[in-house]
Amino acid sequence: MQLSEHIKDHWTEQRVFTMRVIIAGFFGVMLILFLMSRLFVLQVLGHDYFADLSQGNQVRIEPIPPTRGLIYDRNGVLLAENVPTYQLEFTPERVPNSDAMLERLLALGLMDEVDLERVQTQLKTKRRFDSIPLRYRLNEDQVATFAVRRHEFPGMDIKARLARHYPLGGSSVHAIGYVGSITESDLDRLDTANYANTTHVGRIGVERARESVLHGQVGYRTAVVNAQGRWLNEIEGEGESPHPGWDLHLTIDSDLQAAAEEALADYRGALVAIDPRNGEVLTMVSTPNYDPNPFGEGLSSSQFQALQTDPNRPMFNRALLGRYPPGSTIKPMLSLAALADGTVSHTHNSFCPGFFRLPGRERRYRDWKPEGHGWVDYDAAIARSCDVYFYELAVEMGIDNMHKALTGFGLGSVTGIEIIGEKSGLVPSREWKRSAFSRREDQVWFPGETVITGIGQGFTLVTPIQLAHATATLAARGKRFQPRLIKGQQNRETGEFVATDPIPLPGPLVASDEQWDRIIKAMENVVHGVDGTARAMAPREYRMAGKSGTAQVFTIGQEEEYDAEALEERLRDHALFIAFAPAEEPTISVAIVLENAGSGSTIAGPAAKIVIDAHLLGSSK
Amino acid sequence: MMANEALQFKDSRARSRPSLLRSLHLDGPLLVGLIVLSAFGLLALYSASGAETGPLFRQLVRMSVAFVTMFVAAQFSPSFLRFWSPWVYLMGVLLLVWVLVSGAVGQGAQRWIDLGFMRFQPSELMKLGVPMMVAWYLHDKKLPPTTLQVGGVLLFIAVPTYLIATQPDLGTSLLIGVSGVFVALLAGMRARLIAAIGVLGAAALPALWYFMHDYQRQRVLTFLNPESDPLGQGYQIIQSKIAIGSGGIFGKGWLNGSQARLDFLPEPDTDFIFAVMGEEFGLLGLIALLCVYVFIVARGLFIAVQAQDTFSRLVAGSISLTFFVYVFVNAGMVTGIMPVVGVPLPLVSYGGTSMVTLMAGFGILMSVHTHRKLLAR
């Protein structure tokens, strides 16, 4: 039985197969007849109709790109707008001898070498039936020059376009970002139909992060064109209007931004100011900056190269991506945590001989003041930034508690601000060290590493936005809000305004009002106390709370090369300062990092004060 | 036995006088059909690519490569091909997984492997690999296949189809699935089972719809009704209907089609070349073209019916029917009776890789026909 089932019956198989082939053939013939009848409908019955459509003048559907939403600062100052420009465009598919024509345009001065370089890259990356801009922003002379010679350039035409323009130039560029030409790789992630005839897309910053809001909805019109493809007239009623993108209102205050940029102009660094009451980012500066306007016009690769290889790295957004050792700026957070969990009492006194030793060890951990601070209590330790006090505190707390305290303030993880690509920084812990290193002997946490973590050195790295966020949390007495750059968005057609609400985050720790009072008082003494490290800059008009930091630079980026003089400059300490004011009811909190600028209290502090002055007193002087 | 031979084989005349074609393992009628089609295609391509000789020569080079591939494929005997079928299939699946993984790492869709001198798409390999695998699986089974065996067949089809669909290349994956299903149908899969699977499939559609994301639903809707998207695929369909319709019975004449020449029709030299032919050669030209295709398919099916073993029969039948599906899907898409799937018109559209695969398939057909033994079964 089993056997007989396996014996193949070739005659039956052949018969079944032939039968199936006949059935398939029958279906095939039916389908072909169906196809032919369709051809008959199109080519015989529909011939006149379609011939009309195809003959002489023809119908072309043309997408109308939506107008990109505008970007305003918190006071309604325009940060990004669309300006009407004339640009020369062509569709490669329609221009058979494009090389000769491009030569001719060069000779006429309607293009330059930079344009040519860009066009040649776009010829390779764009589809043959997409329009490629030959030159952006033609002036009136150039428009006239082309207009009289238009017949020499079939397939090329001048189009009126809206081009993105940033009236304040490089100001706020690291927050706003810029738009750039759409490339083939963009087409993979964008809805190509909605971007038909759109030439630019948000590249970085808010322009990138809120691309979908800013872009809008494409429309189209149906037009009659002549045999050369030139637009003759529109067919009414056959089309749909585009819907413009929403306008964005940022939390940035451009006056404050300008004051901060001026204060930081001579340095590489970043400053972030946050309203501690709601997390709104009032200022976000990273210097040096750069002008975003050329990006919209198509940067040549040599221009782009120059920006990329500039040793000061203007395109690097230090506020969100720069990772720096926080130095003494983390002392307020640590000491508050120590106070809250009872590790230290505010009456505790400690003697500072100018160095610290772990019990039974030889190695000396030096204080910044070689002769020592003598007897210091809790307040004095912060005001005078006594390192020895914090070495002891660190050992008492242990690395696990310090890790908990610092991460509670949002250090070592992304803050969640709208801009894409924020770096997380690092707050070390035993667990981190176990997983970060491959060699067994490197995975052990050493007591000495706990000691230096107490003054914000060692592995600890934070970004300026994290530091500003932590400062805002101190200012708001433990109320944490996610930093935000966008205040709201407005529909241009209906006027509807949708505000973005503050996003509360869980508090960093449980501390009593008294303990908060004490830490804020201590920070006030940094600025206003008789031996505060920043007493030289104490404002008279209001009370400021602050903390200076001077962070040692241990390493230089390995792939970077500097000459000897520059190297020496880049080994200097980073200057840091955090502050908020007015101390009683803070409305602004600031964190500033200046690379290789030296002392936090003498260099970074005054820059922070300029911004706070501008905010509270309304003057940048 | 020897005496019977002359009676038993109708085409014994051809065999008694050893022809050159036969010794080269080529099939005369099929070869003539393919050459006529290629010539027709080159003519249309020259017009569709804007009367430029560059694309024409590149296509000629590809065609030569494709014909050489066909010749080489025809030299392998069906038993040799059968032996290697599972290995070809296995390698194809591994390559598909590799492409998927490396594509995921390199961000964005990737369908090909860069060999340095050329890009190779594993999905091309599977166009032949799947029907060969299914035919290999069924060749020593008692046919018609049992329900369990049909389940096995569906599994063999589903794996590569799924992998290619996630690339994402829905059009190709469906066509590859169809080529495998054809083998099962030709093997005599029972009518009741066909009906049952058909009903199950239809019932699964609403469930699938329910599990889809909104944007996926939107894509399916545009896919089914391209005219709702006048800036995307709908534009192509509108323009291609104008091109075909304005061609009339006799056409506007070679190189005189305004739709394609004035760039109203996107992709005139690849997926939409059928519309260019319709505009320039008219209804008569298109009917002639379809006749050439029908002739090729008919010859392929004839070869399949004449084949002497199960594997040859099933593979030859599936290749022929799949070829027909390619033609119908492309022509249907261009004339607006099928949704837009990126399927080129076989042997006519500009482009290389799929042509080589198709011709390798015809090589297999020729091998099946010319390796027949003189023995009675």
Q: What pLDDT, in 10s, does the model give residues A130-166? A: 678 888 878 888 888 888 888 888 778 888 888 899 9
Nearest Cα to Cα of residue A520 among A556, A487, A541, A547: A547
A330 HSE (CA, 13 A, CB side): 36
Tell me, what's the pLDDT at B376? 44
DSSP 8-state class, residue B60: H
**Cα–Cα–Cα angle for A174, A178, A179, rounded to 5 degrees:** 160
The predicted-structure confidence for A34-90, as pLDDT tens digits, reads as follows 999 999 999 999 888 888 777 654 666 778 889 999 999 999 999 999 988 888 888
Whether residue A257 contacts residue A172, with contact meaning beta carbons closer than 8 Å, is answered with yes
Q: Which residues of chain A lie closer than 8 angstroms to B337, CB-CB? A: 34-35, 38
- Chain-centre distance of CA B77, in angstroms? 22
Q: Which residues of chain B lie closer than 8 angstroms to A43, CB-CB? A: 244-245, 247-249, 278, 282-283, 286
Q: Does A567 touch chain B (CB under 8 A)?
A: no
- Here the tokens at position B178 are 């169809």
The values of phi and psi at residue A80, to 5°, are -140, 130
Helical packing angle, B53-75 and B353-370, nearest 10°: 30
Q: Give the nearest chain B residue to A35 (CA atoms).
A: B332
Dist. CA A146–CA A133, nearest whole Å: 14
Nearest Cα to Cα of residue A226 among A19, A455, A58: A58
- Here the tokens at position A164 are 């993105």
Work out the minimum CA distance from B28 to partner chain A, whole angstroms: 22
Q: Tell me whether residues A50 and B245 touch, CB distance under 8 A.
A: yes
**Cα–Cα–Cα angle for B285, B287, B293, rounded to 5 degrees:** 105
Dist. CA A402–CA A458, nearest whole Å: 13
* Interface subset of A 185-224, CB within 8 angstroms of B: 185, 188, 192-193, 196, 218, 220
Q: Does A353 touch chain B (CB under 8 A)?
A: no
In terms of pLDDT, which residue wins out, A370 or A547? A547
Q: Tell me whether residues B264 and A6 touch, CB distance under 8 A.
A: no
Dist. CA B179–CA B77, nearest whole Å: 21
Whether residue A453 contacts residue A365, with contact meaning beta carbons closer than 8 Å, is answered with no
Report cis status (omega within 30 of 0) of the bond before A288.
yes
- Nearest by CB: A24 against B144, B264, B321: B321
Mean pLDDT, chain B, as a whole number?
83
Nearest Cα to Cα of residue A321 among A352, A373, A284: A284
Dist. CA A45–CA B223, nearest whole Å: 27
Whether residue B79 contacts residue B67, with contact meaning beta carbons closer than 8 Å, is answered with no
Q: Tell me whether residues B186 and A51 touch, CB distance under 8 A.
A: no
ipTM of this complex prediction, to 2 decimal places: 0.89
Q: Does B377 touch chain A (CB under 8 A)?
A: yes
pLDDT at B1 over 50: no
pLDDT at B16 over 70: no
Dist. CA A160–CA A223, nearest whole Å: 17
- The proportion of chain A whose per-residue pLDDT surpasses 70, expressed as a percent, equals 91
Quickly count: other Cβ atoms within 10 Å of residue A101's Cβ.
18
Tell me, what's the pLDDT at B52? 81
Work out the minimum CA distance from B13 to partner chain A, whole angstroms: 24
Work out the minimum CA distance from A221 to partner chain B, whole angstroms: 10
Tell me, what's the pLDDT at A367? 86
Q: Give the nearest chain B residue to A94 (CA atoms).
A: B263
A212 is catalytic: no
Tell me, what's the pLDDT at B7? 46
The values of phi and psi at residue A376, to 5°, are -125, 140
- Here the tokens at position B278 are 């319709």
The predicted-structure confidence for B354-372, as pLDDT tens digits, reads as follows 889 999 999 999 999 998 8
The predicted-structure confidence for B219-274, as pLDDT tens digits, reads as follows 667 666 666 666 666 677 778 888 898 888 998 888 877 766 666 677 788 888 99
- The proportion of chain B whose per-residue pLDDT surpasses 70, expressed as a percent, equals 82
Residue in A10, A21, A43, A90 to test binding to B, most B beta-carbons within 10 Å: A43
Q: Tell me whether residues A7 and B142 touch, CB distance under 8 A.
A: yes
* Interface subset of A 73-102, CB within 8 angstroms of B: 91, 93-94, 96
DSSP-assigned beta bridge partners for residue A223? A60, A234
Catalytic residue among A172, A254, A300, A328: A328
Dist. CA A490–CA B75, nearest whole Å: 71
Q: Tell me whether residues A8 and B297 touch, CB distance under 8 A.
A: no
Q: Tell me whether residues B287 and A39 touch, CB distance under 8 A.
A: yes
Q: Which residues of chain A lie closer than 8 angstroms to B214, CB-CB? A: none
pLDDT at A558 over 80: no
In terms of pLDDT, which residue wins out, A191 or A165? A165
**Mean pLDDT along residues A438-454:** 87
Quickly count: other Cβ atoms within 10 Å of residue A563's Cβ.
9
Q: Does A35 touch chain B (CB under 8 A)?
A: yes
A516 HSE (CA, 13 A, CB side): 17
A443 HSE (CA, 13 A, CB side): 8
Mean pLDDT, chain A, as a whole number?
85
In terms of pLDDT, which residue wins out, B112 or B366? B366
Q: What kind and span of H or E run contains A593?
A: strand A588-594
Q: Give the nearest chain A residue to B280 (CA atoms).
A: A43
**Mean pLDDT along residues B133-162:** 91
Whether residue A88 contacts residue A135, with contact meaning beta carbons closer than 8 Å, is answered with yes
pLDDT at B2 over 50: no
DSSP 8-state class, residue A66: P
Tell me, what's the pLDDT at A240? 83
Tell me, what's the pLDDT at B185? 92
Q: Tell me whether residues A35 and B187 touch, CB distance under 8 A.
A: no
Nearest Cα to Cα of residue A508 among A605, A414, A404, A417: A404
Tell me, what's the pLDDT at A438? 84
**How many residue contacts between A and B have a Cβ separation below 8 Å?**
147
The CA-atom distances, in angstroms, between A601 and each of A527, A550, B86 are: 9, 8, 75
* Interface subset of B 1-40, CB within 8 angstroms of A: none
Q: How would you label A240-249 residue by residue, b for 16+ Cβ within 10 Å and e otherwise? A: eebbbbbbbb
Q: Which residues of chain B lie closer than 8 angstroms to A28, CB-CB? A: 294, 297, 321, 324
Residue in B53, B107, B149, B264 to test binding to A, most A beta-carbons within 10 Å: B264
Q: With H, G, I as helix, E, B as strand and everything else as coil, classify residue A313.
A: coil
Tell me, what's the pLDDT at A620? 42
Q: Which residues of chain A lie closer than 8 angstroms to B277, CB-CB? A: none
Q: Does A13 touch chain B (CB under 8 A)?
A: yes
The predicted-structure confidence for A567-591, as pLDDT tens digits, reads as follows 677 778 889 999 998 999 999 999 9
Q: Tell me whether residues A43 and B247 touch, CB distance under 8 A.
A: yes
